[in-house]
A and B are shown apart, each in its own frame.
Chain A
Amino acid sequence: MPVPEKATAHTGSQAQPGFIRRVIRDAKMNKYIYLMLLPVVVYYAVFHYGPMYGIQIAFKDYSPALGFLESPWAGIKYFEEFFNSHFFWRIVRNTLLLSFYELVFSFPAPIILALLLNEIRHHMFKRAVQTITYIPHFISIVVIVGMMVDFLARDGLINNILGWFGVEAVAYLREPEWFRSIYITSGIWQGVGWGTIIYLAAISNIDPSLYEAAKVDGASKWRQVLHITIPGIMPTVIILLILQMGSLMSVSTDKILLMYNSSTYETADVIGTYVYRKGLLESNYSYSTAIGLFNSIINFALLILANTVSRRASDTKLW
């Protein structure tokens, strides 16, 4: 058996006989492994690279009858249409502002909570707080927004309580100026506890002898946090920050779809929701694919940029 195999390898390619031989040897040795990987690779090829292949309809006049390939080319007409549309600035602005507020408020919130939780010395109490604050992460966004709709209604819980202090009732979810605050606050409420897990893990990995040494030197608790704990979790913070940067142009579309209504489009309509309305409700497939592509490219570029900057500035990187 090995003899003819060698022979074919040699006659097949004189340039890289070693490579071919390795490929064949690998295929024989790991045939079951490749058999097992096959469905996974096929899945990714079809359901992830398939849509990437379908991106071409952003440059075509897509018609469902003709399909991805046969539809006639349209050049960059749909991109021009989007950039010149008066919706362009509104949805880009809303997307960026929501992301920016998430970066400023939602991103640091679990870090601060983790630092505070770390100072709780009563073990059982700490566990109880963790258990309780993780819960909202598991509640579906439909139920969360459903409760918000109810509590924030003109005659809802929030208005009733504020009414005791003489605050006039507001139908919060119908007021554009309230949308961003509600979106960010509810996001923190839902995610802050769950977000602490990774930081608490990072804190517990810090070498305890550092704290011992600091105590010997007479460093106060505050100085220990400032000079040991925070630098200790910094690599984790930076990794998560890079990931966050990569999604600066993508906010949680499915939450906004549930939260917004035509009276709050002015502040609530984002790229994702606009793509959904244009593409799936109005069937402008090519136009909304172009918007989606614009969004994906910016996200991808931001991620690479953030990774490069972080690699230069510190040693922390995603890849």
Chain B
Amino acid sequence: MNKLSIGERIFEFFNILFMICLCLVTLYPFVYVLFASLSDPSWLVQQRGLIWFPHGLTWDAYRLVFENPMITSGYLNTLFIVVVGTFVNVFMTALGAYGLSRQNVMWKNPIMFFIVFTMFFSGGLIPSYLLVTGLGMLDSLWALIVPGAVSAFNLIIMRTAFQGIPISLEESAKLDGANDFTVLVRIILPLSLPVIAVMILFYGVGHWNSWFGALIYLRDRELYPLQLVLREILITNSTDSMLTGAGAADKMPIGETIKYATIIVATVPILLLYPFLQKYFVKGVMIGAIKE
């Protein structure tokens, strides 16, 4: 420990310095956005360069963001997709993982191959789109839930976790007359809460952040999830004005702070949950890594 050579000391110094810089580079964009969203709009448009504190603290931008009906309806749609979608995901994944983790199931390996193959080969965007529209899910939030009901990767993670539960528990329950549904609900699931937390996190964050499905399957703006609304506010509008070269409306002082406030409003829920979930997602990546 204390016998570090000069070279090792120099390395350690630069290593720590590098890590500090990395953290700054990671965090500063969010800090900038937060401070800018709270600043006085007319000050912000003249501001050049870094911001280290909110100038002329004001909540106006946030008030306008929440008055925007697209944001509130987007929030509600996203909430629906996250809650219902994640429930469907976890339910289906648990069903599959249970069956494929049991011993003495004759068709287990063929079914596993049937599922894993889809990780390496897919029909592609257009056939999937035609299928989903053909099933009448165009302009329905179900189009964002059903086609992605199970992820093969998450199924493997959950299966690995289920395999780790001692078989003796299942056997003694079966002797007492329990069937597989009872075993899954009463024994396996209560013993798998960490992996279920991981699944909720992976699927939930996926639903919260996804936007492409909504772009192709939804025409009705009332159904837009938050991310698609964000895309209009943050990207489409600004590139439009960029391309037409005008951008006058965009440069209305309050417009800028509204953008920043929108980013914060859309990001905060994830960031608030983050510290509580952190210990689980590291675990999730591990379980997935043990056995591919």
B126 touches A279 (CB 8 A): yes
Which of B48, B125, B230, B259 lies in contact with A142, CB distance below 8 A?
A: B230
Q: Which residues on the B side are within 8 Å of A310 (C-beta)?
A: none
A276 touches B259 (CB 8 A): no
A285–B130 Cα distance when bound, in Å, is 9
A40 touches B22 (CB 8 A): no
For window 18-37 of A, CB contacts with B under 8 Å fall at: 22-23, 26, 29-30, 32-34, 36-37
A149 touches B124 (CB 8 A): no
B123 touches A53 (CB 8 A): yes
For window 179-223 of A, CB contacts with B under 8 Å fall at: 189, 193, 197-198, 201-202, 220-221
Q: Which residues on the A side are within 8 Å of B23 (C-beta)?
A: 128-129, 132-133
- Return the CB mask of B112-152 against A: 1 if under 8 Å, else 0: 00110010111111111111001000000000001101100
**Chain A nearest Cβ from B87, distance in angstroms:** 14
Contact of B219 with A by CB under 8 A: no
A119–B281 Cα distance when bound, in Å, is 23
B263 touches A147 (CB 8 A): yes
Q: Which residues on the B side are within 8 Å of A241 (C-beta)?
A: none
A289–B270 Cα distance when bound, in Å, is 36
A141–B209 Cα distance when bound, in Å, is 7
Q: Which residues on the B side are within 8 Å of A140 (C-beta)?
A: 208-211, 227, 230, 266-267
A55 touches B15 (CB 8 A): no
If over half of B's interface residues share one DSSP class (helix, strand or loop), that class is named, otherwise mixed; here it is: helix
Given contacts A150-B259, A153-B242, whether A52 and B150 have CB atoms under 8 Å apart is no
Q: Which residues on the A side are within 8 Å of B274 (C-beta)?
A: 135, 138
Given contacts A32-B181, A131-B278, whether A160 and B124 have CB atoms under 8 Å apart is no
- Return the CB mask of B2-43 against A: 1 if under 8 Å, else 0: 000100100110011011001101110110110000000000
Most chain B beta carbons < 10 A, residue from A153, A289, A299: A289
Which of B155, B234, B260, B266 lies in contact with A149, CB distance below 8 A?
A: B234
A285–B180 Cα distance when bound, in Å, is 45
Most chain A beta carbons < 10 A, residue from B8, B122, B179: B122
A309–B179 Cα distance when bound, in Å, is 46
B99 touches A34 (CB 8 A): yes
Contact of B100 with A by CB under 8 A: yes
**Interface size class of chain B, counting residues whose CB lies under 8 Å from the partner chain:** 35 or more
B25 touches A189 (CB 8 A): yes
A143 touches B98 (CB 8 A): no
Which of A43, A67, A68, A150 lies in contact with B92, CB distance below 8 A?
A: A43
Contact of A57 with B by CB under 8 A: yes
B19 touches A37 (CB 8 A): no
A120–B17 Cα distance when bound, in Å, is 11
Contact of A134 with B by CB under 8 A: yes
A318 touches B130 (CB 8 A): no
Contact of A293 with B by CB under 8 A: yes
Contact of A14 with B by CB under 8 A: no
Given contacts A116-B19, A140-B227, whether A51 and B98 have CB atoms under 8 Å apart is no
Given contacts A149-B238, A296-B122, whether A36 and B95 have CB atoms under 8 Å apart is yes
Given contacts A292-B125, A293-B124, whether A142 and B211 have CB atoms under 8 Å apart is yes
B49 touches A36 (CB 8 A): no
B209 touches A120 (CB 8 A): no
Most chain A beta carbons < 10 A, residue from B18, B22, B115, B235: B235
A51 touches B106 (CB 8 A): no
Interface window among B57-65, B191-199, B282-290: B282-290
If over half of A's interface residues share one DSSP class (helix, strand or loop), that class is named, otherwise mixed; here it is: helix
Q: Which residues on the B side are within 8 Å of A54 (C-beta)?
A: 123, 126-128, 130-131
Identify the closest chain B residue to A131 (Cβ). Answer: B278
Given contacts A36-B184, A119-B12, A258-B235, whether A55 and B124 have CB atoms under 8 Å apart is yes
Contact of B84 with A by CB under 8 A: no
Which of A139, A145, A220, A262 lies in contact with B270, CB distance below 8 A?
A: A139
Q: Which residues on the A side are within 8 Å of B243 (C-beta)?
A: 261-263
Contact of A254 with B by CB under 8 A: yes
Identify the closest chain B residue to A287 (Cβ). Answer: B126
B227 touches A142 (CB 8 A): yes
**Chain B nearest Cβ from A213, distance in angstroms:** 17
Identify the closest chain B residue to A254 (Cβ). Answer: B212
A140–B266 Cα distance when bound, in Å, is 9
Given contacts A37-B100, A37-B111, A198-B289, whether A26 and B105 have CB atoms under 8 Å apart is yes
A36 touches B105 (CB 8 A): no
- Return the CB mask of B89-109 against A: 1 if under 8 Å, else 0: 000100110111010111100
**Chain A nearest Cβ from B216, distance in angstroms:** 6
Q: Which residues on the A side are within 8 Å of B181 (C-beta)?
A: 32, 36
Contact of A280 with B by CB under 8 A: yes
* A–B pairs, 15, beta carbons within 8 Å: A29-B104, A32-B180, A49-B118, A54-B127, A133-B26, A138-B271, A143-B234, A143-B263, A146-B263, A147-B33, A147-B234, A150-B260, A173-B242, A189-B26, A279-B126
Task: Identify the B interface with A (CB < 8 A).
Answer: 5, 8, 11-12, 15-16, 18-19, 22-23, 25-27, 29-30, 32-33, 48-50, 92, 95-96, 98-100, 102, 104-107, 111, 114-115, 118, 120-131, 134, 146-147, 149-150, 155, 179-181, 184, 205, 208-212, 216, 227-228, 230-231, 233-235, 238-239, 242-243, 259-260, 263, 266-267, 270-271, 274-275, 278, 281-282, 285-286, 289, 292
Given contacts A51-B131, A198-B285, A295-B124, 19 further A-B contacts (CB under 8 A): A30-B104, A34-B99, A34-B107, A36-B96, A51-B123, A55-B124, A116-B18, A120-B15, A132-B26, A138-B205, A143-B263, A146-B231, A149-B238, A153-B238, A160-B48, A189-B26, A262-B243, A285-B130, A289-B126
